[in-house]
Amino acid sequence: MSRCKLSRVIIAKLRIVTSRKPMEFDQWFNAQLNARPIDPIRLAEPVPVSDLPTPALLLDEARFEANLARMAQWSKTTGIALRPHSKMHKCPVIAHRQLALGAAGICCAKVSEAEVMQRAGIESILITSPVVDERTITRVSELARKNAQLIVVVDHPEAVMRLEAALAQRQATLKILIDIDPGLGRTGIAPNEALLALLQMIDRDCPHLVFLGLQTYAGHCMHIPEFDKRKSKYQRALATGAEARNVVERAGYSVQLMSGGGTGSIDFEADLGILNELQAGSYAFMDIEYRDIESNNGPTFEDFSVALTVLVTLISQPKPRTVTVDAGFKSLASDKMPPQFKDVDGLNYYWGGDEHGIVALDNPSRTLQLGDKLELLTPHCDPTVNLHDYYYVVRDGYVQELWPISTRGCSQ
Amino acid sequence: MSRCKLSRVIIAKLRIVTSRKPMEFDQWFNAQLNARPIDPIRLAEPVPVSDLPTPALLLDEARFEANLARMAQWSKTTGIALRPHSKMHKCPVIAHRQLALGAAGICCAKVSEAEVMQRAGIESILITSPVVDERTITRVSELARKNAQLIVVVDHPEAVMRLEAALAQRQATLKILIDIDPGLGRTGIAPNEALLALLQMIDRDCPHLVFLGLQTYAGHCMHIPEFDKRKSKYQRALATGAEARNVVERAGYSVQLMSGGGTGSIDFEADLGILNELQAGSYAFMDIEYRDIESNNGPTFEDFSVALTVLVTLISQPKPRTVTVDAGFKSLASDKMPPQFKDVDGLNYYWGGDEHGIVALDNPSRTLQLGDKLELLTPHCDPTVNLHDYYYVVRDGYVQELWPISTRGCSQ
């Protein structure tokens, strides 16, 4: 198809989405979710990395595949199921690869993420945040009607009753986990009477909810750099999960699923023996924050290697010892430390605003020229991925495939 | 059109973009830019704000319109042309409104932004970052071929020669500004021999470049809270621009355009008399960072009112004095201070990760319930907007129109 013809077709299709004819809100909302690309784009000719428009999110395919294989092996060895968190990669292509390697399913942070993943053919989905308002409960009930494998966490009796009502109306059932707060203080309940009351209410009043077990996600422990400190804090956090399981089991209910943990807890899970499902996300790509924690094997966490970078271009040199690159807050998450350059020493990145990074030169290990392309290691992979529309998948210095970040922005 | 029929059409169109048939890279890159929606979406029925899926980016239309009118009046009164920076709003609907109120054109930070804006029918565009690599220079030359009003900044002889060659090949001309660094240290050159040499080179060797004037953007001064400190630092910064103009004029060239400044400098521009074009962006929406600077009229900057908020839902209450809302790093820019609640006192937002905010309750001015919707003032509007796909345009508590954030992610 010629370029012009292609563009005409796309614009014609576009006019439908942005039609001047008024649409119902739900119709529009569904249409924009359904319009997201989910399949890989294959390029007719491989493009050298040095020719890409920047900033570009690069995925080193060999490293990425090694990371997936390594975690699949961990799951096999420990007997702990792997349910990768798709909020990190936001990409059905990657979710399918994880499932092909034996993952038990995926996690989604929000309902709109789950809707796109389900459209992409993924059924075993756990939504890890509570859903509480009418609109979201309606959407999750619709999802449940079509997908018997869907699981959602709950942590509040009011939301549970709304969910039950919406499911009853649709004659649908939904599997649930009760969310336990292991000290993160974000969502979940304590392992006390509130937990027991919630469970009994579900058992008594909610025939459309199927209690499956508990979620206990200790995100506050994952990035503690010191190995022993991380281990002991995590152990204390998971004790809350163990206590919750006891409360549930003492009341005569069985806990089929204990879900939680992440990339930073793989060295402890098997010993602790509390979780039977790991929600790790970052292991697939890695980032500076995770790389810099101590592991079982040494001062940095090298079980997985950094596969994700942002390619940038050197666009200016305002001073002799300063250069400027074309990526700032809009291409690199800024909630953590600044990014670092890959394979070059003596370059220090400072935030230069929305679109720029200012780079101090401290005796750099290679010469630099205007127009040079450089790779940045990302500080925090999840919110960095969310700033981009596609992965440029790199093998041997060339890109021949692009993977859409289909659930970018799906936080609803 | 029925919902099903609509979805089928959209999915059919989508299959073209994500075709399994291999595409040339440029063809794909153009297709994905061309597929971005640019027109407003009109809803058949107004939706109450309290019914929206969250997080949702809300734009208070009355405040927004007042902000646009106020700045248009400023431009009229001072005689300084207004060229709003579209990197802030990323929305052709808004750019058209600014132009309708008398703006001289718009700014774009990057070439891909300019490509989408030009497709949306906007011709008077200034690209405010240097373009240096072959691919970007090719693209900007193609834009110039179709658009005689395009202006691009330059700051380096090598990039200028590449640009000249690409334009010559297409028999196109391009207007340029030389970018002067007023002490921000990001892009631009100093007002010395380098400036003169660059100018003479353009005059002598670049028949396809038309020198129009200078850009001198002092972004490092815009958010200084103390009025006098901001004024004096800005005055020193603009002195560099004045010096540059002298260098150029002494060499016998005329400076038609002096572009720079922003929302934080409107109180000084007329007095200083150096710029004849203001690149302000944030004034249209405002954010906490700008609201908290001192102005001519008082301790906060109330020339413009905050029109942009992020609507969130209260989804959990893990502890008696803590609640959790459903928006974190993926819906609110985190490069500045945390967000603040609108119209409610006694709620303090703390980052709770990618998808959550943890809210400490300090004797709140209203009672809160699970499922409540609350509005957050954004810390920094530009990178917050870049996290969303649409504005929900609010009038009297209802939304009847959505405006696409068409250049979201267009940092290339």
One DSSP character per residue, B140-197 reads HHHHHHH-TT-EEEE--HHHHHHHHHHHHHHT--EEEEEEB--S--SS-B-TTHHHHH
Q: Is A127 helix (H, G, I), strand (E, B) or coil?
A: strand
In whole angstroms, what is the distance from residue B372 CA to residue B359 CA?
A: 13
Nearest 5°: phi and psi at A211? -75, 125
Q: Within 13 Å, how many C-alpha atoms sit on residue A374's CB side?
A: 32
Per CATH, the number for A47-58+303-404 is: 2.40.37.20
Q: Which of A169, A302, A156 is nearest to B371 (CA)?
A: A156
Pairwise CB contact (< 8 Å): A185 & B45: no
Ranges of H-type helices in A251-376: 269-272, 288-291
Q: Where are the domains of chain A?
A: 47-58+303-404, 61-285
Widest CA span of chain B, in angstroms? 73
Cβ neighbors of B227 (< 8 A, separation 6 or more) are B267, B293, B294, B295, B296
Q: How many angstroms separate the Cα of B233 from the Cα of each of A62, B228, B241, B260?
A: 51, 8, 13, 15
Q: Which of A205, A265, A267 is nearest to A241 (CA)?
A: A265
Cβ neighbors of A233 (< 8 A, separation 6 or more) are A220, A221, A224
Strands (E) across B35-138 are located at: 41-48, 56-60, 81-82, 106-108, 125-127
Percent share of chain B, pLDDT over 70: 95
Q: What is the pLDDT of residues B149-176, one digit of tens each?
A: 999 999 999 999 999 999 999 999 999 9
Per CATH, the number for A61-285 is: 3.20.20.10
Structure tokens at B169: 């090949």
In whole angstroms, what is the distance from residue A284 CA to residue A97 CA?
A: 11
Cβ neighbors of A7 (< 8 A, separation 6 or more) are B30, B31, B34
**How much is the pLDDT for A8?**
45
In whole angstroms, what is the distance from residue A59 CA to residue A395 CA?
A: 9
If you count them, how many residues does chain B have?
Answer: 412
**How much is the pLDDT for B12?**
44
| Strand-pair partners of A351 | A357
Whether the predicted pLDDT of B389 surpasses 90: yes
In whole angstroms, what is the distance from residue B144 CA to residue A145 CA?
A: 53
Q: Provide the pairing of β-strand A81-82 with A308-319.
A: unpaired
Q: Residue B213's CB: how many other CB atoms inside 10 A?
A: 22
Nearest 5°: phi and psi at B271? -60, -45
Residues in B 105-144 with any Cβ partner in A closer than 8 A: 109-110, 112, 129-136, 139
Q: Give the closest-approach CA distance of B313 to chain A in angstroms.
A: 8
- To 5 degrees, how large is the angle CA B199–CA B203–CA B206? 110
Structure tokens at B143: 């834009």
Q: What is the pLDDT of residues A292-326, one digit of tens each?
A: 999 988 899 989 999 999 999 999 999 999 999 99
Strands (E) across A257-344 are located at: 257-260, 277-278, 308-319, 322-325, 340-341
Residues in B 25-54 with any Cβ partner in A closer than 8 A: 25-32, 34-45, 47, 51-54
Yes or no: say if A267 and A304 are a contact pair by the CB < 8 Å rule.
Answer: no
Q: Which of A178, A152, A149, A180 is nearest to A166 (CA)?
A: A152
Report residue B20's pLDDT band, with 50, 70 and 90 as the boundaries: low
Helical pair B111-119 and B25-34, crossing angle rounded to 10 deg: 60
Q: What is the pLDDT of residues B297-353, one digit of tens each?
A: 889 998 999 999 999 999 999 999 999 999 999 999 999 999 999 999 999 999 999
In whole angstroms, what is the distance from residue A117 CA to residue A84 CA?
A: 13
One DSSP character per residue, A7-62 reads HHHHHHHHHHHT-SS-B-HHHHHHHHHHTS--SPEEEEEEEEGGGS-SSEEEEEHH
Q: Within 13 Å, how many C-alpha atoms sit on residue B257's CB side?
A: 26
Percent share of chain B, pLDDT over 90: 93
If you count them, how many residues does chain A have?
Answer: 412
Structure tokens at B365: 């001015």
Pairwise CB contact (< 8 Å): A53 & B412: yes
Q: What is the pLDDT of residues A323-378, one digit of tens each?
A: 999 999 999 999 999 999 999 999 999 999 999 999 999 999 999 999 999 999 99
Pairwise CB contact (< 8 Å): A402 & B42: no
Q: Which of B396, B331, B264 is nearest to A110 (CA)?
A: B331
Q: Is A84 helix (H, G, I), strand (E, B) or coil?
A: coil
Q: Within 13 Å, how many C-alpha atoms sit on residue B233's CB side?
A: 18
Q: Residue A192's CB: how many other CB atoms inside 10 A?
A: 11
In whole angstroms, what is the distance from residue B100 CA to residue B92 CA?
A: 12
**How much is the pLDDT for A3?**
41
Yes or no: say if B368 and B346 are a contact pair by the CB < 8 Å rule.
Answer: no
**Which residues of chain A are within 8 Å of residue B352 when distances are taken between CB atoms?**
186
Pairwise CB contact (< 8 Å): B37 & A18: yes
Pairwise CB contact (< 8 Å): B316 & A187: yes
Ranges of H-type helices in A371-412: 381-385
| B237 lies within 8 A of chain A by CB | no
Mutate to test the interface with B, among A18, A220, A311 (most CBs of B within 10 A): A18
Q: Within 13 Å, how many C-alpha atoms sit on residue A258's CB side?
A: 23
**Which residues of chain A are within 8 Å of residue B282 when distances are taken between CB atoms?**
none
Yes or no: say if B230 and B143 are a contact pair by the CB < 8 Å rule.
Answer: no
Strand order in the sheet with A151-154: A81-82, A277-278, A257-260, A209-216, A174-179, A151-154, A125-127, A106-108
Q: What is the pLDDT of residues B190-247, one digit of tens each?
A: 999 999 999 999 999 999 999 999 999 999 999 999 999 999 999 999 999 999 999 9
Q: Does the CA dihedral A130-A133-A136-A139 come out positive or negative?
A: positive
Q: Within 13 Å, how many C-alpha atoms sit on residue B245's CB side?
A: 19
Pairwise CB contact (< 8 Å): A356 & B187: yes
Structure tokens at B110: 């990057």
**Which residues of chain A are within 8 Å of residue B130 when distances are taken between CB atoms?**
315-316
- To 5 degrees, how large is the angle CA A83–CA A85–CA A86? 120
Whether the predicted pLDDT of B84 surpasses 60: yes
Tokens 């990197």 belong to which residue? B87
Chain-wide mean pLDDT for chain A?
Answer: 94
**How much is the pLDDT for A270?**
96
**Which residues of chain A are within 8 Å of residue B386 when distances are taken between CB atoms?**
330, 354, 387
Q: Does the CA dihedral B139-B140-B142-B146 come out positive or negative?
A: positive
Measured between CA atoms, the residue of chain B closest to residue A389 is B409
- To 5 degrees, how large is the angle CA A279–CA A281–CA A285? 160
Cis peptide leading into residue B84 (ω within 30°)? no
Structure tokens at A341: 């350059």
Yes or no: say if A260 and A241 are a contact pair by the CB < 8 Å rule.
Answer: yes
Nearest to A412 among B53, B158, B189 (CB): B53
Please state the ipTM of this predicted complex. Answer: 0.94
Q: Residue A271's CB: how many other CB atoms inside 10 A?
A: 10
Q: Do domains B47-58+303-404 and B61-285 have the same CATH topology?
A: no
Q: Give the closest-approach CA distance of A77 to chain B in angstroms.
A: 30
**Which residues of chain A are within 8 Å of residue B318 when distances are taken between CB atoms?**
155, 181, 185-189
Yes or no: say if A334 and A355 are a contact pair by the CB < 8 Å rule.
Answer: no
Q: Within 13 Å, how many C-alpha atoms sit on residue B165's CB side?
A: 11
Cβ neighbors of B291 (< 8 A, separation 6 or more) are B300, B301, B302, B306, B377
Pairwise CB contact (< 8 Å): A402 & B28: yes
In this prediction, the residues of chain A whose per-residue pLDDT falls under 50 are 1-17
Residues in B 345-384 with any Cβ partner in A closer than 8 A: 351-356, 358, 370-371, 373, 380, 382-383
Q: How many angstroms separate the Cα of B365 from the Cα of each of B187, B345, B346, B360, B392?
A: 46, 5, 6, 13, 26
